[in-house]
Amino acid sequence: MLSNEQQVMLKLTLPDNDNFYVECINHKNIIKVVALSGGYTREQANNKVKGNHEMIASFSRALTEGLSAKQSDEEFTKALDTAIDSIYNASKT
């Protein structure tokens, strides 16, 4: 049980239903609810985050999707920038 002063951040799996974690998000002891990308593609994970207002993305695997050591520095940087932008924009809901 949390005391009235304790605050936590929850890192949870993306739900199938929009705004599934709304009660957690609105709880006075919750700082932020953060979404894991799970096994979803970046596009699927971004769409799920968009449907869950006030939930933000914490993607690792989805962030690196499409990146390769075989890419030139320019290609790698462009792909990473695109990934970051898409995840950031999905988290702005």
* pLDDT, greater one: 77 or 93: 77
In the chain, where are the structural domains located? Answer: 8-90
Rounded to whole angstroms, how far apart are CA atoms 93 and 69? 33
pTM of the entire structure?
Answer: 0.88
Nearest to 37 by CA among 91, 92, 75, 93: 91
pLDDT tens-place string over residues 8-32: 999 999 999 999 999 999 999 999 9
pLDDT of residue 2: 74
Rounded to whole angstroms, how far apart are CA atoms 21 and 11? 11
Both tokens of residue 27?
A: 């709880």
Nearest to 48 by CA among 40, 9, 78: 40
